[in-house]
Amino acid sequence: MNEKINRYGGPDHWYNPKFFEALHRKPVQYLSEFLKGGERILDIGAGDGKLTYLINQLNHWVVGLESQWLPIRFAKLMYEVRNVSQIPFVQGDAISIPFKKCSFEVITLFDVIEHVPPEMLFTLLNEMKRVLKVHGKLILTTPNRRALRNRIWGHRTNPKHYKEYDVTELKRLLVANEFGIEALRGIFLPVPIPKIEHYGGIFPMRRLFSFFINLGESYPSLSETIFLVARR
């Protein structure tokens, strides 16, 4: 499974350009709408800790699970540099989660499932069901194989991904593993010009691209990223 895990050279997500920073924060903005308060949250595939930090800013208890030691070190360093409270991290594998049964109300799985070999998905989903409390929520994001741009220009799977999904495939996968779908949204309805979002930080393009990030909410089947909430 580690074959297609991104190797960290530095805490990249802490220094995103403006457009990509807005894009990166969007799943946590959506997440906040599905939290009642006081939930214990497990952030699987926490990486360099940026999204884990943003989740923690919502005043929820969160622990990051990450398979590599280096990004955990970067996360702790960035918390120290930015003078924010240290968040607990555990080094471990998502297909053998090192927590007891029913430990969490919420699991976040942001841009992780595409890095998992399809033959290991059943194990991953069962592990998440095991550590989730009854009626707990699984909240995930993943690249959309059938995004608008892919439909126009053709789709090429990222070489670091085992498999990418469209909305129908993702819903079918979760339902087949006894999760109930609660909500489905999109993030960023892409302008059908390759790599044009790299200009998203330039005024006045910034406002236009912010509009496209938000427009994705209403068009998940065409958006660049799928945001899905499922219930155990």
Domain boundaries of the chain, sorted by first residue:
2-231
Say what angle helices 167-176 and 121-131 make with each other, to 10 degrees: 60
Query: Quick one: pLDDT band at residue 20, thresholds 50, 70, 90?
Result: confident
* C-alpha to C-alpha distance for 52 and 76, rounded to whole angstroms: 11
CA angle 158, 189, 15 (to 5 degrees): 65
Instruction: Mark out the alpha helices in the chain (DSSP H runs).
Output: 18-32, 50-56, 69-81, 121-131, 148-153, 167-176, 205-215
> Does the domain at residues 2-231 carry the CATH identifier 3.40.50.150?
yes
Average pLDDT over residues 197-205: 68
Is 65 within 8 Å of 92 (Cβ atoms)?
yes
Residue 197 has a pLDDT of: 72
**pLDDT at 223 > cutoff 60:** yes
pTM, full prediction: 0.90
Question: Which range, of 8-22, 31-45, 156-170, 182-196, averages the lowest pLDDT?
Answer: 8-22
* C-alpha to C-alpha distance for 38 and 135, rounded to whole angstroms: 15
* C-alpha to C-alpha distance for 83 and 106, rounded to whole angstroms: 26
Put the strands of the sheet holding 89-91 in their side by side order: 89-91, 61-66, 40-44, 104-110, 132-143, 225-231, 180-187
Is 186 within 8 Å of 146 (Cβ atoms)?
no
Tens digits of residue pLDDT in 149-178: 999 989 888 899 999 999 999 999 999 999
Strands 132-143 and 104-110: parallel
